Structure formats: C-alpha cells, structure tokens
Structure 1
Amino acid sequence: MARRRKQEPDGTNLPDDEVRDERDYSVRAVERVCLILNLLQESVDGITLNEVAQTTGLPKSSAFRYLWTLEHHRYVERDETNNLFRLGLGFVGMQSRHLEILRERARPSLEALRDEYGETANLGLLDGDHIIYIEIVESRRGVRLAASRGDRDPLHSTALGKAIAAHLPEDRVRTLLDRAGMPGRTSATITSVGDFMTELAGVRRNGYAIDNGENEADGRCVAAPLLGTHLPAAISVSGPSSRFSMQDAKKVAKTLIRVASGIATNPVSAQRSEAMA
C-alpha cells in the first residue's frame, strides 16, 4: 500500500525526509521581529540597541538592520536624542489603545480649556507628513473654528504642526517638508524651509507655537507640545481671528504649556479642576 505523502498548506508535496507529524513552519527572521516588537510593547520609555541585541541574540549590526527596516515602515520610531527605540505610528490607528488612553487623559483638559476661553480645543498627532486631529472639543459659540476628528492638515501651516515639528530632529523635519511640500494655504503661510526652521527655533524658545492666519485666513491657533507622552502630539486652542487676538493667543499659551505638561502624568480620572489648577 502506497504511503500517503503530507502536503504544505498550498498543496505542495513535502519531500519524504521532511514528512513528520508536526511540521515547524516558523521563520527565524519573523520570530526575531516578533521578539523585538514584544520588547518594544513592554517598554514604557523605549529600549536601546544593546537591549534588542541581547534579547534576540543578534549581533548589534544585525539588530540595527532589523530596527532600521521596522523604522522605515513606521513600525518603530527612534529618539535620536537618547538613542531609544519605541513602537511607531504604523501600529497607532485611530482605534488603538495608545490613542484611547491619550484621549482619555486629554479630554478633561480640553473641555476645561474650551470653557475657560470659549474657543475650540484640539488634540493633534503627527501621522506621516501631516497632522491628524484625534480629539476636538468645539466652542459653544455660533461662529467657531473647528475641524472634525480624523481631519488632516499640513505640518507647516498649523500651530499643532509647528509645536510637534519643533521637537523632531531637523533632518526628519526637512524630509517631511520635502515629501509633503509647503503650499501656500493663505498669503501668510510660511513656504520656505529656512523660514520654517527659524520659526521652529522660536517655538522651542517660547514653548508654544502660533498659526496666525497661516492655515485659514480668518483663523488663529496656539499650540503646545505633549513632550511626556512619547508620541508626536500637541494640544491647541483655535478661534476666529476677529475674536481670538494675538494677545489672547499668548495668554492662552501660558495655560497650554502647563496643561500639556500635566496630561502625560495626570491619571485618566483626573478632574477638570485639577487640569486647570
């Protein structure tokens, strides 16, 4: 009686010397990628190249190639300031737990900002080469400036974009600008890379960014980065320029800086009064 040969899932017959009861379909390279991603997921602050090499048993040069490839596909993000690697935005979808936690932490503060100043408060994130709005608390006024959750805006013309870009490595900012371009949204939009870099230097110095009619001619927005979240995110307050003056924006900026620093540390159940304390 002829022996029945086992087959691969695609129907290909296995050679006799590979026939066995339980076939191992694992691929070593994939297993190493999974080890790296599991290590990143378990880390709050990020991991070093040495930690990746030790965990996977890879030489540092090979571990770096794995990380570089994952970074290229946005599954890993590298903090060039301290050479730490973290999970990248390739895993951060609109329904991910990472963003849900950030929304839960930010929402009371955004509501408090809206109630304090009467204008729309926003939470934005760098997604690719644009800013995406992941939480919005709209002004209660009839005339207001407000995007919708999931809307995308350019990096170079928004206060959120400036606040985030100011704390990215310069070469990464230049790459993002080169990829997305710097179209003039209004007559006030910064359309020169050199001018934009000068603007970012001022953002770092002041701690906040202002969009003065650069994204919408009749709009004004002020934003502060969320530096403690390990995500390229920022919060902002925006309103019609006829009502929300530059003096108003600078006044709000002081509060935004304080609130932004607290969002990363306040528990999800923080009360609105604590957010504005």
Structure 2
Amino acid sequence: MTNDFILNTVVKTFRVLEFLSESESTYTLTKLAKILKISMGTAQRITNTLIQLEYLSKDPETKTFRLTSKWLRIGFSVLNDLNLRQIAVPHLKKLNEETNETVSLGLIDNDEVIFIERIASKHLITTNISLGMRRPIHANSIGKAILAFQDEDQIKERLNRIQFTKYTNKTIVDKDKFYAELKKIKKNGYSINDGEIEKEIFAIGVPILNNNGVAIAGINLVIPKARFSKSIVYEKYLPVIIEKGILISKEIGNY
C-alpha cells in the first residue's frame, strides 16, 4: 500500500498512544514531541483530541499525560484475543470449588487494580466485588502481588506516584515500609491483605507472570474474617492459589 492511502495524523496519533501504553512514566507535551520527533503543534492537536475523546488525561499540576481507563473497552477485547481470561477462568473455577471462597482476576490500570473476572463464594457471607471495580494498589492483594514483580525502576517510579491513603489502622501508608513489603512479597511469591482496606476481609494474592518473570496480572482469594481460620488459610488455601498462579503463568507463557 502506497503512502497515498495512509493518514499521517493517524500514524502519529498511534505512535503517541503506543508510546504511552508501553511507558511506566508520564510525559509533558514538550517531552512527547521531542521523543516522538513531532512538532509541538501536532502533539498538541493529538493530545487535545484524545483528551476530548476521554482516552487521555492531563494532570493539571504536572502537565503530564496518561491513558485513561476508557481503553479498557479495547483492552478487554484484546485480553480475550490473547486468551488471558480464557486461560485463567478454568483455574479460577477450580480454586473457587476447592476453597468455596470468592476468587478474582485483576490488572493494574494507572495506579489502581481493576477486576476483570470474578467467581463468587456460595456462602451467605461473602465479599462485595464486581467486575470493573477498582481498588488502590497499596491496599489490595492483587495490586501488591503485581507491583512486587515489576522491575526496580518501575516499582520506584510508581511508588513516587501512589497516594498512600489510609483506610484502616492496618493500611501501609509509609513508602519505605510499603517497599519493604513488596520485597517480602517477591521473596515469598504471594501477598497478604489483612484488613488493609476493609477490616473484616482477609485476602491472598499471587502474580501472573510472563516469560520474563514480570507480572502482567494477578489473582486473589478473598475470605471474610467471620470464617477465617489461620491454619486452613495457610496450610490449605495458600498452596492451592500459588499452584493456580503458576499454572496460569505457564499457560500464558506458552501461548
């Protein structure tokens, strides 16, 4: 196909989108234009259009841009094509059957965890989690499990952005303590959320890793403290969810 059939503005727009989607950092208009080698005028028109369409947001203080969650509509269809959900769901069902507790699959979107799959417990007392629901990274078992298995630069860059809001007396709100928690999670291979956002909830999270050992998603098992048993959770449930995380990771890597 010749260049007569290509719209250069569309090409440049997708270059902006691809660059932002692959980067863990945020960029100003000047930096975007310089890195992508496009004029300031073109960069401004592209970013203004994407903001108007709600695919891009601009931080009023730092003047930097980032993709918005509206991309999830496209992202979900891509995930289906890549078989992430298709691969994970059978394992989530088995995890749910073996524990009879609520299980979820989640991703990090900006600085939050978003749940893209959920299988609820059949117990009368269960957890209020729905598809599309968001949770802060620092107070969620999936968020902590994913973040612990990123490279060091990405971890530090994200830690500088996270707002360490306190939800309960167990929420980690100190950046250094949270960093130490991530190191512990990576060593153990799983994360724990013991009432860090909801006092009555206990959760275990494990990462879904690609071939490079980087987390692309995570799964968790959520247990109301009304029926929490430390021996059952650590001796029975923990090995099972770790196993499921490994199996999903292996299948993702072989796809």
Structure 1 length-normalised TM: 0.63
Match of 1:148 in 2: 130
Larger Rg: 1
Q: Is the alpha carbon distance of 1:35 and 1:192 closer, same or farther for their aligned partners in structure 2, counting shifts above 3 Å?
A: closer
Match of 2:78 in 1: 98
Match of 1:182 in 2: 164
CA shift, 1:213, in A, is 0.9
Match of 1:50 in 2: none
Decide whether the 8 Å contact of 2:149 with 2:215 is kept in 1: no
> Structure 2 matches for 1:204-215, cutoff 5 A?
204-215=186-197
Q: 2:180 aligns with which of 175, 198, 202?
A: 198
> Structure 2 matches for 1:46-65, cutoff 5 A?
65=35
CA shift, 1:29, in A, is 7.7
Decide whether the 8 Å contact of 1:120 with 1:146 is kept in 2: no
> Structure 2 matches for 1:20-99, cutoff 5 A?
24=4, 26=6, 31=11, 65-66=35-36, 93-94=72-73, 96-99=76-79
Q: Is the alpha carbon distance of 1:248 and 1:158 closer, same or farther for their aligned partners in structure 2, counting shifts above 3 Å?
A: farther
Question: Aligned equivalents of 2:110 and 2:104: distance in 1?
Answer: 19
1:149-202 Cα shifts (integer Å, max 9, x gaps)? 000000001111110010123343343343330111111011111001111111
CA shift, 1:109, in A, is 1.1
Segments of structure 2 that go 5 or more residues without pairing to the other structure are: 23-33, 38-42, 44-49, 56-66
CA shift, 1:26, in A, is 4.2
1:132 maps onto 2:111 in alignment: no
Match of 2:25 in 1: none
Q: Is the alpha carbon distance of 1:197 and 1:65 closer, same or farther for their aligned partners in structure 2, counting shifts above 3 Å?
A: same
Q: Is the alpha carbon distance of 1:188 and 1:150 closer, same or farther for their aligned partners in structure 2, counting shifts above 3 Å?
A: same
CA shift, 1:142, in A, is 0.4
1:71-125 Cα shifts (integer Å, max 9, x gaps)? xx9x9xxxxxxxxxxxx99896245333222121111111111111111001010
Match of 1:262 in 2: 247
Question: Aligned equivalents of 1:168 and 1:214: distance in 2?
Answer: 22
Give the paired residue count. 206
Query: In angstroms, what is the RMSD of aligned CA positions?
Result: 3.6
Question: Aligned equivalents of 1:36 and 1:94: distance in 2?
Answer: 19
Match of 2:103 in 1: 121
1:134-154 Cα shifts (integer Å, max 9, x gaps)? 101000000012410000000
Q: Is the alpha carbon distance of 1:175 and 1:24 closer, same or farther for their aligned partners in structure 2, counting shifts above 3 Å?
A: same
The structure with more helix, counted as a fraction of residues = 2
Structure 1 residue identity aligned to 2:227: R
Q: 1:250 aligns with which of 227, 234, 238?
A: 234
Identity, % of aligned pairs? 29
Q: 1:224 aligns with which of 206, 209, 217?
A: 206
